[in-house]
Structure 1
Amino acid sequence: MLPLSLPSPSQGVWHLGPFPLRAYALCIIAGILAAGWFAERRWTKRGGEPGVISDIALWAVPFGVVGGRLYHVVTDPELYFKAGQDPWAAFYVWNGGLGIWGAIAMGALGAWIGARRKGVSFGEVAGVLAPAIPLAQAIGRLGNWFNQELFGGPTDLPWGLQISPTRRPDGYEGYANFHPTFLYESLWDLGVVGLVLWVEARFKVTGGRLFAVYVMGYTAGRGWIEYLRIDTVNHILGLRLNVWTSVIVFAAAAAYFVIAGRRARDRDDQRDADASPAP
């Protein structure tokens, strides 16, 4: 028999003496470690020097965390700077609140710096990271489960998520079960991992174009998942901000995929023409 709903953890913080152990942070760290391991294996399998990805991660991860937090705070400033709110809470990353768009943008900058310092191609690094990043996201999303946050609207589906009364938003106090959008996104991310690996193997797509496949796959899912969520967020023309961001980023990634592909074909054609013997 199917369960009538999915339970939420009774707590997300444990204390080892005076030190808090937060499930959200542990999930983020586990995701980063899994992605690093996966990317390192992909890099060395291609003949890359062992340890390069780990060294680049020393730049990419801190930049990504800062970027993710900045995006969250900038797009939801009322959570921290409105009357009655604590502005210092903007620095409390362990309580949740990392925007993936800022994390990817700043993380990419950190990875570029790291790649430059190691003397390796940033495009090759991006291709190696393409399936590793959604793996990290899939694991990291479980942190939202422990925090009982970022869920969707009420549902009577058997996988509806039980939310504690104190965590239910205004207007939804009479409902007990909600869409587990964190789980939807986690499963979607795993699907994106498979998609990227399939495109890479089937069509021999590499480098920045493979990273664009990841971006397109993720944003396609984030758009409809975001539409289900009921947490407070800014809207533009009736749509949640992150829906618009998904559309724009998807279009940019698709344009890059097409343009970069055409340029690669033109280079191949020119190389073939140069190699052809003169008549």
Structure 2
Amino acid sequence: VKGGRRLRFGPVAAAAAPAIAFGLTVAALGNWFSQQDFGHPSSLPWAVAIAPAHRPAGYENFATFQPLFLYQALWAAAAGVGVAVATSRLSLRGDRALALYAAAYAAGGFALFWLGIGHLPVVFGLRAGELGDAAVLVGAAVYLVRTRPTRNKAYQPAHKSALESDSPVL
């Protein structure tokens, strides 16, 4: 801390939340080039062809799959726009903007997880990734509720102090 100036977390977090979302949008689209992060086999018009070398065991006979990376990219972009708009319109502090993004990211991950092909361990009836997203979603929601601003109520003391008695000042 030189010259008495400190980097404040709030403005940095407010700027970082949508930036992280847009960065993840680009990263998700990168999975198309590397043929990673695709979902179950699909015959939908927007299904993507995956080279045999990139298909997981048990899926060698399928050529087209759900483009999970595309869904993730769209969700991340929507979350980034949503957080940017909410931060501006609701005057969210940086920590709350970051928590809002974490909740949106986790909700999207939890919703899209069932489309993915993976062999993660099952814990409490959920795959490990779903459990992690659920934990982040609950944690972010609790944080947002606990840090929500309260309305200013007129302060009325329970009793008047000795200096504020009804007797005239002599």
Q: TM-score range by the shorter chain?
A: 0.7 to 0.9
Q: What is the TM-score of this pair, normalised by structure 1?
A: 0.51
2:33 counterpart (141, 146, 149): 146
Q: Retained in 2: the 8 A contact 1:154–1:176?
A: yes
**Counterparts of 1:150 and 1:232, CA distance in 2:** 13
SS of residue paired to 1:175: coil
User: How far apart, in 2, do the equivalents of 1:273 and 1:130 lie?
Assistant: 36
Equivalent residue, structure 2, for 1:47? none
1:135 aligns with 2:18: no
The CA deviation at 1:199 is 1.2
> What residue is the counterpart of 2:116 in the other structure?
229
Q: Does residue 91 of structure 2 align to residue 208 of structure 1?
A: no
Show structure 2 runs of 5+ residues with no match.
157-163
| 1:241 maps onto 2:128 in alignment | yes
CA–CA separation in structure 2 for the residues paired with 1:159 and 1:131: 27
1:273 shift after superposition: 4.0
Amino acid paired to 1:157: L
Relative to structure 1, the CA distance from residue 235 to residue 147 in structure 2 (aligned partners, 3 Å threshold; closer, same or farther) is: farther
Equivalent in 150, 165, 185 of residue 72 of structure 2: 185
The residue type paired with residue 84 of structure 2 is L
- Which residue type is aligned with residue 269 of structure 1? N
Instruction: Summarize deviations over 1:234-271 as a string: whole Å, max 9, x none.
Output: 3223422111111110010011011111xx42xx738x
Where do residues 63-212 of structure 1 align in structure 2 (5 Å cutoff)? Answer: 119-212=6-99
Correspondence for 1:269: 152
Paired residue secondary structure (2:120): coil
- Do residues 251 (structure 1) and 138 (structure 2) align? yes
Cα-to-partner distance string for 1:157-189 (whole Å, 9 max, x where unaligned) = 011010111211111111110011111101110
Shift of 1:143: 2.2
Contact kept in structure 2, 1:130 and 1:211, CA below 8 Å: yes
Amino acid at match of 1:197: A
**Runs of 4+ residues over 3 Å off in structure 1:** none
- Relative to its length, the structure with more helix (as a share) is 1
The normalised TM-score by structure 2 is: 0.82
* Paired amino acid for 1:176: A
Listed as ranges, the gaps of 5+ residues in structure 1 are 1-117
Secondary structure of 1:269 counterpart: coil
Q: SS of 1:130's equivalent? A: helix
Assess if the C-alpha contact under 8 Å between 1:227 and 1:240 holds in 2: no
Q: Which amino acid aligns with 2:33?
A: F
Deviation at 1:123, TM superposition (A): 2.4
- Cα offsets for 1:10-52 (capped at 9, x unmatched): xxxxxxxxxxxxxxxxxxxxxxxxxxxxxxxxxxxxxxxxxxx
Deviations 1:67-108 (A, max 9, x none): xxxxxxxxxxxxxxxxxxxxxxxxxxxxxxxxxxxxxxxxxx
Provide the alpha-carbon RMSD of the alignment.
2.1
Instruction: Indicate conservation of the 8 Å contact 2:39/2:67, yes or no.
Output: yes
Tell me the residue number matched to 1:87: none
Matched letter for residue 159 of structure 1? W
